[in-house]
Amino acid sequence: MEKMKITDYHYYPDSDELDLVINVDKPQPAVSVYVDDDFYLRVNPDTQQVVGATILNASEVFADLARAFALKELDNSNVRFFFERKIEASVPEHA
């Protein structure tokens, strides 16, 4: 699987929506693919490349993450995922 890199983002406070641009320099034409109630992937229909994501109710999502980190809930899947990706990003390519 290709690594995902957030290259830009836009937050819309009126709708509490966070749009992420992923692996491309600027937003691309894409279709939204449902992941769960608050999360959609944006996929280029021609290449099938993930080019973005949309997070609905972003404030609530961030508040849940902050609460889990503050309570040091290492069994929380989001906290574990963060640390796993942080560790992966820290390992040299040749290791």
Query: DSSP secondary structure string, the chain?
Result: -PPP-EEEEEEETTTTEEEEEESSSS----EEEEEETTEEEEE-TTT--EEEEEESSHHHHHHHHHHHHHTT-TTSHHHHHHHHHHHHHHS-TT-
Per-residue confidence (pLDDT) for residue 81, from 0 to 100:
87
Question: Tens digits of per-residue pLDDT, 40-61?
Answer: 999 999 999 999 999 999 999 9
Q: Tell me: do 47 and 67 sit in the same domain.
A: no
Q: Tell me: do 47 and 85 sit in the same domain.
A: no
Res. 16: pLDDT tops 90: yes
Query: pTM for the full model?
Result: 0.79
Angle formed by the axes of helices 58-70 and 77-90, nearest 10°: 80
Q: Tell me: do 64 and 27 sit in the same domain.
A: no
Q: Tell me: do 69 and 92 sit in the same domain.
A: yes
Q: State which residues form the domain around 85.
A: 59-95
Q: Tell me: do 84 and 52 sit in the same domain.
A: no
Res. 2: pLDDT tops 70: no
Q: Tell me: do 29 and 49 sit in the same domain.
A: yes
Per-residue confidence (pLDDT) for residue 95, from 0 to 100:
57
Q: How many domains does the chain have?
A: 2
